[in-house]
């Protein structure tokens, strides 16, 4: 068979020896407008129109030049065909598949031809608009002793009130506490590795045990209440059967004097954002679903519309990626408002709201770079973005710095000069050619003008998780980087060249004003 035009066999159909039947895989991918479209014979015009009509029913349009020809042909189109239930058997093609809201064979072929013609052979790497310095003066590297086992650190959190650091390892499935000398104390075993820890007022912590870290729909995640103080570090199940919980946050959404808990259940094709009502003993009283939309990776809660009630903002990082505002309706529910939509090749990874330019509005700091889906190539549009809040949470892109595989950004006034700087990590960095981008510190020198610097720490680990906290209580925020040392490799002909036995490092802040 020839796969010249597409990796899904839809070419000549071997003079009728196979017939192609199609049906729609899910409700979102339909377009009545496109169903009646008559082809003009112009490959670019037809394909561009049909892709816009069909593809944007499910997610933001992926530009043809966002991926290479080979990736479109060998990965994206087969995946797209699977969603549309395209197969090579039966004779139901003659039953007018567009009656079910589907796509006709001739339209499908036009879309395939369009991407095959327009997509580039390779993506040109992005050019950083500011040279990257590789010595980070003002920070001191601290690291614990090497451990006998390979580190699979999925969570790191610093408690500024005690100076202690907490980590979780996916393989060991434990929660470990580290003192000021970076000496470990395994507090308790967990049902699976943790991805998030939220300190509570009572000295306990709410912990998200992920279940399966890889992208599957398997609801084995749990939310646990963990006792951090004392000698009995018992864990109590708060909620279970959640698909890949990434984060929990608390807020008093019903204003009864006690925080409810929001859980981001990322899932894969199935997931959701859940609201947990707990009693005084952190026992689950009620679990409700804010949305059953998959892909939630991070949430922030505050009173966004200034009505006195806490609201919610959620970032989605799979499929229909985007930023959504959920306004508290003061009746136990939320009203959703889409703020930004991103194409599924972005791989959205984190966001933060902060007033970067001192105009009184909270701007958006956003990273994208999860690069372990089907399209595992370096992408020049991955990196750190700043969107200016022009009012009423209308965001306009103001600044971009390319970082392959950007994973997280945290803004803080690291140098104490009154403005916000940014620390970034990149788990899917170009480790083969530019490992320096695994961690970058952006010093803001003027509004929206940054000096990027990279600490020479790539040899110590591969940073999946990051936190910022004042660990030594000197009034300066320190940076914590967790090492997930093995797996998730996506670059060919490259072997890990970092230390696999250090669970994390600390960049102690010694910057002066």
Percent of the chain past pLDDT 70, that is, above it, reads 89
Residues 394 and 475 in one domain: yes
Say yes or no: 325 and 433 in one domain: yes
206 neighbors 283 (Cβ within 8 angstroms): no
Task: Tell whether the model's pLDDT for residue 408 goes beyond 80.
Answer: yes
Q: What is the reported pLDDT for 12?
A: 27
Give the dihedral sign, CA 239/240/241/245.
positive
Q: What is the pTM of this model?
A: 0.90
| Residues 312 and 430 grouped into a single domain | yes
Compute the half-sphere exposure of residue 440: CA atoms within 13 Å on the CB side of its CA.
32
Average pLDDT, the chain: 88
Q: Which domain holds residue 335?
A: 133-190+300-509
pLDDT at 28 > cutoff 70? no
Q: Is residue 358 part of a domain?
A: yes
| Domain-embedded: residue 22 | no
Task: Tell me: pLDDT of 119 over 60.
Answer: yes
Would you say residue 463 lies in a domain?
yes
Distance CA 403, CA 420 (A): 19
- For residue 241, being part of any structural domain is answered with no
Residue 88 shares a structural domain with residue 146? no
Over pLDDT 90: what percentage of the chain?
74
Position 397 confidence tier, pLDDT thresholds 50, 70, 90: very high
Is the pLDDT at 97 greater than 60, yes or no?
A: no
Q: Kindly write down the DSSP assignment for every residue of 377-397, as one continuous string.
A: S--TT-EEEEEEE-STT-EEE
DSSP string, 192-260: S-EEEEEE-TTSEEEEEE-S--SS-----EEEEEEE-SSS---EEEEEEEESSEEEEEEE-TT-SSS-E
Q: Is residue 458, in this structure, part of any structural domain at all?
A: yes
Position 137 scores a pLDDT of 79
In a domain, 254, yes or no: no
What pLDDT digit, counting tens, does each position of 348-377 carry? 999 999 999 999 999 999 999 999 988 999
Q: Are 204 and 227 in contact (CB under 8 A)?
A: yes
Spatial separation of the C-alpha atoms in residues 439 and 485, rounded to whole Å: 15
Element (H, E) at 452: strand 449-453
Residue that terminates a domain, selected from 118, 143, 164: 118
C-alpha closest to that of 494 among 409, 414, 435, 422: 435
Predicted local confidence at residue 30, as pLDDT: 54
Least confident of 81-85, 284-288, 391-395: 81-85
pLDDT digits (tens, 9 = 90+) for 445-456: 999 999 999 989
pLDDT number for residue 130? 64
What average pLDDT score do residues 30-37 get?
70
Residue 29 banded pLDDT, cuts 50, 70, 90:
low
Predicted local confidence at residue 57, as pLDDT: 76
Q: Which of 66, 94, 118 is at the close of a domain? A: 118
From 118, 148, 173, the end of a domain falls on 118
Confidence grade of residue 95 (pLDDT, cut at 50, 70, 90): very low
In a domain, 232, yes or no: no
For the stretch 125-184, pLDDT in tens is: 888 766 677 777 799 999 999 999 999 999 999 999 999 999 999 999 999 999 999 999
| Res 277: pLDDT | 95
Which residue in this structure is represented by tokens 């209308």?
A: 394
Same domain, 376 and 418: yes
Domain co-membership, 87 together with 186: no
Q: Secondary structure of 362-373 in the HEC alphabet? A: CEEEEEECCCCC
pLDDT at 390: 95
Q: Say if 265 falls within a structural domain.
A: no
- Cα–Cα distance for residue pair 208/196, rounded to 1 Å: 5
- Identify whether residues 104 and 47 lie together within a single domain: yes
Q: At 333, which CATH number?
A: 2.115.10
Using CB atoms within 10 Å of the CB of residue 128, give its burial: 0 to 12 exposed, 13 to 18 middle, 19+ buried.
middle
Same domain, 105 and 143: no
* Model confidence pLDDT, tens digit, residues 293-347: 999 999 999 999 999 999 999 999 998 999 999 999 999 999 999 999 999 999 9
The reply to whether 96 and 146 lie within a common domain is no
Q: Do both 382 and 491 map to the same domain?
A: yes
Number of domains in the chain: 2
Q: What is the mean pLDDT of residues 460-466?
A: 98
pLDDT of residue 89: 41
Domain match, 184 and 81 both: no
What pLDDT does residue 192 have? Answer: 97
Residue 87: pLDDT band with limits 50, 70, 90: low
Give the whole-angstrom CA distance, residue 481 versus residue 439: 9
At 168-220, the pLDDT tens digits run 999 999 999 999 999 999 999 999 999 999 999 888 999 999 999 998 898 99
Same domain, yes or no: 48 and 108: yes
């Amino acid at each position: 068979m020839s796969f010249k035009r597409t990796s899904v066999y839809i070419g000549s159909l071997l003079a009728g020896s196979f017939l192609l039947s199609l049906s729609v895989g899910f409700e979102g991918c339909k377009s009545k407008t496109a169903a009646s479209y008559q082809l003009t014979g112009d490959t670019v015009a037809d394909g561009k129109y049909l892709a816009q009509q069909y593809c944007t029913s499910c997610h933001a349009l992926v530009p043809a030049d966002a991926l290479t020809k080979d990736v479109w042909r060998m990965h994206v189109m087969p995946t797209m065909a699977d969603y549309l239930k395209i197969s090579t058997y039966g004779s139901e093609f003659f039953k007018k598949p567009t009656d079910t809201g589907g796509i006709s064979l001739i339209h499908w072929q036009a879309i395939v031809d369009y991407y095959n013609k327009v997509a580039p052979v390779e993506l040109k790497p992005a050019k950083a608009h500011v040279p990257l310095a590789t010595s980070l003066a003002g920070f001191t590297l601290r690291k614990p002793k090497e451990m006998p086992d390979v580190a699979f650190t999925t969570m790191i959190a610093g408690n500024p009130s005690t100076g202690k650091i907490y980590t979780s390892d996916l393989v060991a499935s434990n929660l470990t506490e580290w003192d000021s000398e970076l000496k470990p104390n395994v507090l308790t075993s967990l049902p699976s590795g943790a991805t998030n820890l939220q300190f509570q007022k009572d000295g306990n912590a709410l912990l998200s045990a992920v279940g399966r870290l890889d992208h599957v729909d398997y609801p084995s995640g749990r939310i646990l209440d963990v006792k951090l103080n004392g000698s009995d570090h018992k864990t109590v199940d708060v909620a279970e059967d959640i698909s890949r919980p990434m984060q929990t946050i608390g807020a008093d959404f019903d204003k009864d004097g006690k925080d409810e808990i929001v859980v981001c259940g990322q899932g894969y094709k199935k997931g959701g954002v859940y609201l947990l009502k707990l009693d005084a003993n952190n026992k689950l009283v009620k679990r409700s679903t804010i949305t059953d939309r998959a892909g939630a990776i991070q949430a922030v809660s505050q009173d966004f519309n200034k009505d006195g009630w806490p609201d919610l903002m959620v970032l989605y990082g799979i499929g229909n990626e985007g930023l959504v505002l959920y306004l508290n309706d003061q009746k136990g529910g939320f009203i959703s408002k889409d703020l930004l939509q991103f194409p599924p090749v972005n791989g959205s990874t984190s966001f933060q709201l902060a007033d970067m330019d001192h105009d009184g509005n909270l701007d958006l700091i956003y990273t994208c770079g999860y690069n372990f889906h089907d399209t595992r190539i370096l992408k020049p549009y991955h990196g750190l973005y700043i969107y200016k809040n022009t009012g009423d949470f209308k965001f306009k892109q103001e600044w971009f710095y390319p970082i392959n595989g950007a994973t997280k950004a945290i803004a803080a006034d690291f140098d104490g000069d009154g403005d916000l700087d940014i620390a970034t990590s990149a788990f899917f960095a170009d480790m083969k050619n530019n490992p320096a981008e695994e961690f970058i510190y952006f010093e803001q020198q003027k509004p929206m003008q940054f000096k990027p610097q990279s600490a020479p720490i790539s040899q110590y680990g591969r940073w999946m998780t990051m936190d910022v906290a004042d660990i030594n209580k000197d009034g300066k925020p320190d940076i914590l980087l967790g090492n997930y040392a093995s797996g998730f490799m996506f670059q060919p002909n490259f072997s890990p060249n970092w230390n696999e036995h250090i669970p994390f490092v600390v960049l102690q802040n010694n910057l002066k004003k």
